[in-house]
Structure 1
Amino acid sequence: KTKEALDLVKKISKQIPKSFYSNPYLLTSLLDALMKCGDVAHAESLFYSSKQKVLPMYGAMMKGYVDNNLLEKAIDLFNKIENPNDVNVTILFNACAQLKTKEALDLVKKISKQIPKSFYSNPYLLTSLLDVLMKCGDVAHAESLFYSSKQKVLPMYGAMMKGYVDNNLPEKTIDLFNEIENPNDVNMIILFNACAQLKTKEALDLVKKISKQIPKSFYSNPYLLTSLLDALMKC
């Protein structure tokens, strides 16, 4: 993601045979590189001049817009896709999660009703959907979706826990944490954040208890250590 990298990408893209541009995988990686290096205009020019647009190209552009904080553009581009795949939908949800507006929430609800049921077996899509619902303040909808899901993965627990913290429901965060068999370091961090919000003796006792139980390897995570220190101080 450096200027040197961008210059190299531009140089090589001018030198390669035109026939290479008919390879959608090459085009997708080129769009991705341009977006990651911040050259949105060049990526747009290339994308819109391409006659054969495939879904990964839309995905690269949408993700690029999100990464470059051009969320409305990500949504506008999504609306041009005839049959979006689960990756496109996931990126849309991520864009809406950053916007946190009523309009974004309405769009999420609309799209979540339209997508094929098979998409719901994708834990990444589900996690991003839970995340956007929570960030837009629709806790009830997120809970309904989470508890109706048969295959719960740790990132889904994380999205729910973080959502509870963000919506000032730290007790629910703790209750959900207690349902996880083998929490990861991210789950621990969110738990500590919830306890830091509570600032009670019970929260402090829980922090101390959990901090003794977690694998030693977790302590090499500076974010976990920071959240643990924060919880201890706030309690």
Structure 2
Amino acid sequence: GDIQSAERIFRLNKKKDIITSGAMMKGYVGNKMFEKALDLFEQIHLNLYNVTYIIVFNACAGLANDRAIKIGRKLLDEMPENYRNDNAVLNSAM
């Protein structure tokens, strides 16, 4: 995908929400830009939903360094109970 155009549109978007942030993180992960996905994740202060957990866990798995492990563990610790029973979320966390 054209990640540079997506970044430009994302930056110009005044109202960033979990949907637009999640889409941008998904674009980063799809383009193997795992660091950028985690950078954006750490910048957003929004309530996460199951798809966002999957995207962030996929970024952590792709990066597989100390930072990714730390973020993945923190995310698991803070994850609401209802997401812990979601097979898609659990599979991506593994």
Separation of aligned partners in 2, 1:115 and 1:58: 18
Separation of aligned partners in 2, 1:106 and 1:54: 24
Runs of 4+ in 1 over 4 A off after TM superposition: none
Deviation at 1:87, TM superposition (A): 1.2
Comparing both chains, which one has the higher relative contact order based on Cα–Cα distances under 8 Å and sequence gaps of 6 or more?
A: 2
Separation of aligned partners in 2, 1:81 and 1:122: 23
Deviation string, structure 1 residues 60-85 (Cα, Å, up to 9, x no partner): 11110011111100001111222222
Unpaired runs of 5+ in structure 1? 1-37, 131-235
TM-score (norm 2): 0.90
Deviation at 1:54, TM superposition (A): 2.3
Residue 31 of structure 2, aligned match among 68, 74, 78: 68
| Equivalent position of 1:89 in the other structure | 53
| Secondary structure, aligned partner of 1:79 | helix
| Equivalent position of 1:79 in the other structure | 42
Separation of aligned partners in 1, 2:14 and 2:67: 32
Matched residues, number = 93
Separation of aligned partners in 2, 1:79 and 1:53: 14
TM-score (norm 1): 0.38
Deviation at 1:55, TM superposition (A): 1.3
Deviation string, structure 1 residues 113-143 (Cα, Å, up to 9, x no partner): 012111112111000011xxxxxxxxxxxxx
Could you tell me whether the CA contact under 8 Å between 1:78 and 1:88 is conserved in 2?
Answer: no
Deviation at 1:97, TM superposition (A): 0.5
Deviation at 1:47, TM superposition (A): 0.8
| Equivalent position of 1:48 in the other structure | 11
Aligned pairs for 1:140-179 within 5 A = none
| Equivalent position of 1:106 in the other structure | 70
Aligned pairs for 1:1-235 within 5 A = 38-82=1-45, 83-130=47-94
Residue identity (%): 40
Separation of aligned partners in 1, 2:33 and 2:58: 12
Separation of aligned partners in 1, 2:18 and 2:86: 17
Separation of aligned partners in 2, 1:62 and 1:44: 10
> Which structure has the larger Rg?
1
